Amino acid sequence: MFRRRERVEAFLNKVAERFRVKGALSESKALTLEELELPFRFKDAMFKRLGKSGIFIEVNGKYYLSEDQLKKFNQKYS
């Protein structure tokens, strides 16, 4: 269980960093998967727990990072 949490946290941090580097931090700056250079499976994950977490938000086929939700997630599971 602990290792799974570590893997999830590492994945979230890696993906969040990509959003930061690309500047996708608000609805007006949301980017497509291609622009974010994310695999298509990211979109599939958004229909599951990842999307329900509210960390990455989809708007009209584009995505942005909610730093507030990421912070809440990290606090909850730290």
Q: Which residue range is the domain that position 24 belongs to?
A: 2-77
For the segment 26-51, what is each residue's pLDDT rounded down to a tens digit?
Answer: 999 999 999 999 988 898 989 988 88
Report the C-alpha gap between 41 and 71 in whole angstroms.
24
Residue 58: how many CB atoms within 10 A of its CB?
A: 14
The CATH code of the domain that includes 18 is 1.10.10
Please state the domain count of the chain: 1
Q: HSE, CB side, 13 Å, CA atoms: give it for residue 56.
A: 29
DSSP 8-state secondary structure symbol assigned to residue 31: B
Instruction: Provide CB contacts within 8 A for 23, sequence distance 6+.
Output: 29, 31
DSSP 8-state secondary structure symbol assigned to residue 11: H
For the segment 47-68, what is each residue's pLDDT rounded down to a tens digit?
Answer: 988 889 999 999 999 999 999 9
